[in-house]
Every structure is written in structure tokens, then in C-alpha cells.
Amino acid sequence: MDIARTPSTPDGNPELADAAPSPHEPPTIRREDYRPFPWLVPEVALDFDLGLDATRVVSTLTVARNAKADHSSTIRLNGDGLEVLSVKVDGEMSNSWTMDGDDLLVTLPGDAHEIAVATEIDPSANTQLMGLYASDGMLCTQCEAEGFRRITFFPDRPDVLSTYRVRMTGDAETFPVLLCNGNLEASGKNDDDTHWAEWHDPWPKPSYLFALVAGQLVANTDSFTTMSGREVTLNIYVREGDLDRTGHAMESLKKSMEWDEETFGREYDLDLFNIVAVSDFNMGAMENKGLNVFNTKYVLADEDTATDGDFDGVEGVIAHEYFHNWSGNRVTCRDWFQLSLKEGFTVLRDQLFSQDMGSEPVKRIEDVRVLRGAQFPEDSGPLAHPIRPDSYREISNFYTATVYNKGAEVIRMMRTMCGPERFRKGTDLYFERHDGEAATCEDFVKAIEDGAGLDLKQFRLWYSQAGTPRVSVRVEHEGDTATLRLSQVVPATPGQPDKQPMPIPLKVALFDRANGQHKGEELVILDKAEDSVTFSGFVEKPVLSINRGFSAPVTIERDIPAEDLVFLAANDDDPFARYEALQDLVVRHLKQAVEGELDDADRAEAREAIAGAFRAVLADESLDDLMRGELLVLPTETYLAETMLVADPGRIHAERQALRAAIGSALEEEFAALHTRASAVPYSLSAEARGARKVKTQALLYLAAGNADRGRDLAWSQYSGADNMTDRQGALMVLAGMSGIERTDALLDFYNRYKGNALVVDKWFTLQASSMHPDVLEHVKALADHPQFTMKNPNRVRSLYMAFAYNPHAFHAEDGEGYKLVADVILALDPINPQTAARFVPQLGRWRRIEPKRSAMMKAQLERIAAAPKLSRDTYEQVSRSLG
């Protein structure tokens, strides 16, 4: 899935509760309490009589005692808000059942039985969008993590694997398309106005991978021939009118299938692969076996409505969900503590795929920027947790950047240490050993260890310790020898005050100052609290390039002169290291400026040096524009705050904006020339054209900051003449942060041009909520009353309020109104969609790292949320952990 409770019983469920929790405090579930489920459920038959307001479900489970589990005379079938219509055991009506909260307990005297349970649900009333729900006249499902229990009673846990046969019956006009997992085996019409379809998935799967879609849809159909010669039919189902925007998604799917065969040896295993685009969806997409359900955002794209970033997003998410067919479906998770087993591995797989499809260094920089912007703050705050957590109260809160993105970095480190070929041997062994099983993170590490011949005993600490390691680095020089001295500290995190040193693979190179060259890159493994490495043959002290390619997800603390950073920015042959040198140069200056360490002369001197480094980037003809665009991006305010023990968001914003203005003013003519050159490149999806559009937007940002009138005129000209969404949105982003008639006219034109396209209207909301305009808070309040805004659609909520919450300039308004607005959103959204509401809490949860005045206001809003009656488990857990 792309970045969703039962009490303890003798039947072996892993969800073990604390003693007598209050209704407001959900039970704590611990990894150490896992026990195998006492019953196997090898076969499931589901019969759906579909309706938007009433769907009847009859589930028939073939069950048998699990010899590997403790004996139990009852089977616990999880439910959530379901009402039992009937229960049959072995074909006879049964009274040997009771309810335990939401769960159905059935007494079973023998070793094997057949249980049939009938229920009825109302999909139209399901605003949580978990289970079976209605979306604009269509029925669809989302079952990860615990949504299947909202459809029917079932042991809703990932280690219960079953084959499924499904019969769907529905009104032929309302639901002309009937889709489910696996292969379509039969279909037909009834005597009335209904029709039916029967599906069979031959591969055992957990209930979280179940999917059903029924509605008025059209398909882009294609095919793919696998490496063994089987032809697979591919369908992308969308609403009428969206079909012409599915071409990129289809090409991305076929590229993904071919790449997975070539790179990991994984072949698709069904006759059909279906994707359905849904407008109401909590997540990005879901990898249900053979029937992937996607947020429309990650399917629909054309040049008029999608940016280059959107095209990348479609390609990456299509790949991610397809790759889950093996890393998540054929081999699934034993329990939800192992979530990174499938998600971390699959994120790495989609990152490697995207690198191969485009620019490897640019993709690496983009991935690191996401990690630093989302995961590093998570790792240093009250919600910090290992990639394999020890406990949780609501599993949907653990679909986090730590589990996904840090999980990918941890597996990437294994790949770095053993090399691609030996890593492939390890993954082949993993799939061979655990195909058709519910596995653990330990199973994966052991397979890499055995397949690659690598000792990963100490490396396992990465799975159990939270926190971003800080690596201190210094270079000493004597005679012709350079000594690299390294030390590491893993900071204390909630529940983990003391940490052990972890193996940290660091790619390093030492540059000769005289010729700007190095003698080769080396891999250094720091696995102690302190260590040193010597290098010979240096007449003078070399310049160190470290953590090249971002070989480890750590913070590097290096005492390096500014001139050495300038040297690396100009000479480093590792694209990431060059990017990092520029970032460090800017971060160092901004930290000193924010913390009051610079007088006016020092500030001016530092700005001049940074402008000089940027001038070199603009003039470097060896760079392509995709990389040039990355090098021109300033560190985000969020990342700058993360580098400080206590941050003042107001001062960070002011200093960063002032630096951008200084660079824009100093390099005004260079940026204008860059914009002119890039504007001459015609639209295409080639690397050259994409790079041109990227640097055009960066040039506009600097020109608008350095010379507002010139920037405004150029942005308006670009907006008016744009023939693609990337250029149009880039120009509008700049105009949205400025005042004047051009801003008003462009926003009105954009809305009128695209008001019938929900995804582009989302962009319109986001551009205003994320802008640098001084009145952005008032704009957001006004937009909440717009006729096209609704709290019931997650995309629309995120487009306005999440964009605002992640806009430090607006969110951290000095009077605290930004905090109050987000708290109001959480309280209003929680009864409707708790999963989405809970995702707003971490922004307020950073209160300990913010200066005292703002900190107190953030904490007060968290306390206000915590005091609300009937708070959902999702939101309660996030708030209580944030308050600590």
C-alpha cells in the first residue's frame, strides 16, 4: 500500500490488551505477545448481493484446527460494526455463538468445520472509507489493515491465508462492471435486471488483500507476455471521460512488469491484472491481489492536467503496487509489526525502478529530501518508533515514513554492503523460502545473510532501535597520511533511552586540493561508537566527501571550512555529495543567521559566497538541467528546523526568504537568461525538456524574490503562454505568493479552466494553501467555504488543510491561529474519517522542538483535542503520544 482489536483471548490472537482499558484508551498490542491463530481457514467463499445502501454478504469459511497453535474450542471472527443475520455450522443453523464486543465467537467441537455467516452493511454510510464503501455511485473496498472486518466476520489478521471464491450479484445498470481478486471464471444475467460474476483467486492470501469493485467503469485494455510466455490481460478501469488520461499508467505498468522480471526475476502469476481508479481513497493505492485499487491521483495524467512530478508519481506508485505482488502478496506479513517487511522492501524496489527509468542521481536526491522532510522529524519526535515497532494501539498510525522510507534505506544499506549481485541472491532465497507464507523481518534479514554470505547480526539493531544516528567526522593530517576519525551517537527516543552502536556503511572519497581529483571511492563500515581509518599519499590535508550517494540514513556532523564546501560543490564527482555540499553551505549560514551569530557584514559575506556557488551551478555546462534544478533548491524550512535543538519558525522563514532574495538579486541576469534558454525547449517527456521546465520554475522563484516586478511579469507571461501543466502550475505557484491583479486573474483563470477536473481543482486549493502570501491563513479559511470543498473526500481535505499544515510560514503564525485551525480540522474530521484526521496530529506534536511561545500554543491545542469526547482510537493514540 502506498503512504491505515480485539482484547486478549485464549484463542491465540496477538492483540493482547492492557488490563481494563477505558473506552477512550484503546488496548496496547505487543509484538512479543504474538501467537499463531488456532484455526486454519484454507478456503473462503463469499456471496455478495450488492447495493449502495444495503449489501448482503454471506461468507462461508472452511476451517481446520491449526496443529502449530494452542488448542481452542472457539474461533474468534473479528467484526467492526456488523450485525449477525444468521450463523450456520456444517450447514445447520447454529446457536453456539456469542458476541464479544464487535467480534463473533463460535464454538466448534470438532477438528474441521464449515461456518457460514450472513450480514448486511450500508456502504453509503461508510465515511471512514475502510471496508466496503460507496464512492460517487460505485462500490469499492479498502481492507488494509483491518477493513475486512467491516465487510464480514473473519479472523482479520495477516497470518491467516486463504484461497477465495467470490460471487457478486448486482443491478446491471448500476453495476455493469463487477471486479474481484484473481481470475474471472464465469458471468451471466439473471431473469430480473441483475447480473452476476464469479471470481477465483488460486493464491492463498490474507483478508487485507481482498478487493471488490462494482460500478459504471470503462477500461483501457492491453496485454503483457511474461518471461515464460504467458499472456496477461491488463485493464485500467476509470470513469467515462477519464480514459484518455490512462496511457501513461498503462505504459508504467508494462515497464514495471518487465523490470521486475529482469531485475528480481519475479513473474506475474494470474491471467488478469486489473487497476481501478477511485476518487475517494484514504491512501495512494492498494496492492490487492490482481485488483489494485488506486487513488485517481496516481492513475490519471496528461500534459494539460498533470505536472512532471505527477507523471513521476503515477509511474512510481503503479510500480510500487505491482511489485507488491511478490514483496507483500506472495510473501506477506506474519503480523502488522512486520509491516516494513513488505513496505520498506517494496519502496526500495520502486526507487530502484524509478532510478532506472530516469535520472539515478536526481531520483536519489528526491528520495533523500522526502526522508529528511518527513522521516527525520518523526525519528526525533514523540512519535519515534523502530521500523519494526514493539507495540501499537491503532495499526493505521504505523503507516509512517519510518516504516516505509527508513525501512527502504535500511534494506538499501544491506544492498550497499553486499553489492547488487549478492543482494539478488539473497532476495531470490527469500522468495524461494517463504513463497505462500506470512513471514517476518527476521526471515528477510536471514535470507540476505545466507544468500549474500553477509554477517548481519549487529545490523539487526536497525530494526529494533529508533532514532537517526548522528555521525561526527573529522580529518587529521600528518606527513603524507590522512586519518578519518568517526564516532556515532543514536539519540534517545521515547521508550529507548540508551542505544547501541549500529553498523553504518559510509561511502567516502578524499580529494586532492591541487587537482580536484580523488583516488577512488571506498566503503567504510562504522560499527563502533568510535573508529578511525587511515589513508596514505596526501602531501596536504585532503577534502573529505562522505556518505556519498547517501549510503546511510544518518546525520553527518562535520567540522569543515566553508571553502571546502565550495570546493566540493564545484569538484565532487558524486552528484549527491555535490548537492549535499551546497545544502550544507546554505544550512550552516542559515543556522548561524537564525541563532544570531552573524553581524550584517558576516551575513552579507556568506550570502555572497553562496551566490557565487549558485553562479557556478548556473554556468556549469557539464550539468544537465534536471540535476541543475536540484542543486538550485534551497533546504526546506522543515529541514532547517530539524537541524536546530529548538527552532524559531518565524526567524527561519525570514532568513531563508532573505537569502533567496539576495541570490535572486545577485544573479538576476543569469536567472533571466536561464529562463529564456529553457523556455525555448518544446514540450515533451524527454529528460532535456523535463529539466528545462524544472529550471524555469527555479529561475522564477529566485527572480520573484530578488526583483518582485520582474518576477511577477515573467511568471504571468509564463502562465499565459503555458502549453502544459508543469509550466502553468510553476508560474501560478509564484504568483500565488505575491499580491497584485496578476495573482487574482491567474487563480480565477486556472479555476475556470479546470473546475470540472477534481484532481486539478485539488492543485488549485493546494497552491493557495502552500503559498508564501502573507494572508494565506485567511485565504484558507475562505476556501473552506468554497462550493467545491468537502470534508468527506480525503484528496480535497489534504489539498487544502494538509498543504496548510505543511506550510511552516502559515502553520506557525505568530498568534497561534494556524495551530487552532489544524486542531479544528482534526476535531471536525475525526468523526467522519479518523484515519485521515490522525495524520494531521504529528505537525502539532513537534511542540517540544519549537521556541517557547509557539510551543505552549501547540501543546494547548493538543490538550484541547485530547479532552474531546468520543475521540477515535487513531487520533487518541497520536495525541496521547505527542503529549507524552
CB 822 within 8 A of CB 811: yes
Phi first, then psi, for residue 344 (nearest 5°) are -60, -45
Kind of pairing, strands 103-107 and 97-100? Answer: antiparallel
Phi first, then psi, for residue 514 (nearest 5°) are -70, -45
**Contacts for 661 with CB less than 8 Å, ≥ 6 apart:** 705, 706
Helix extents (H) in 620-757: 625-631, 637-642, 649-666, 668-679, 687-706, 708-721, 725-736, 741-754
Q: Which of these, 406, 503, 490, lies nearest to 455 by C-alpha position?
A: 503
The DSSP string of 356-408 is HHS-HHHHHHHHHHHIIIIIHHHHTSTT---SS-SEES-GGGG-SHIIIIIHH
Which whole-number Å values give the CA distances from 624 to 112, 542, 586, 618, 673, in the listed order? 66, 28, 22, 10, 16
**Contacts for 877 with CB less than 8 Å, ≥ 6 apart:** 26, 392, 393, 394, 397, 838
CB 871 within 8 A of CB 865: yes
Which whole-number Å values give the CA distances from 311 to 187, 282, 759, in the listed order? 36, 20, 13
Structure-block grid coordinates of residue 138: 460505485
CA 471 to chain centre: 26
Active-site residue, 321 included? yes
**Dihedral sign from CA coordinates of 87, 88, 93, 97:** negative
Structure-block grid coordinates of residue 174: 448500476
Radius of gyration (C-alpha) of the chain in whole angstroms: 28
User: Which residues are bridge partners to 65 per DSSP?
Assistant: 39
Which whole-number Å values give the CA distances from 51 to 137, 142, 803, in the listed order? 10, 17, 35
> Cβ of 873: how many Cβ atoms within 10 Å?
20
CB 712 within 8 A of CB 740: yes
**Contacts for 669 with CB less than 8 Å, ≥ 6 apart:** none
Structure-block grid coordinates of residue 686: 524527454
From the list 146, 321, 409, 449, the catalytic residue is 321
Kind of pairing, strands 555-558 and 470-478? Answer: parallel
As a whole number of angstroms, the distance between CA 798 and CA 804 comes to 9
> Cβ of 877: how many Cβ atoms within 10 Å?
24
User: Which residues are bridge partners to 29 per DSSP?
Assistant: 392
Helix extents (H) in 49-141: none
Query: Which residues carry out catalysis?
Result: 321
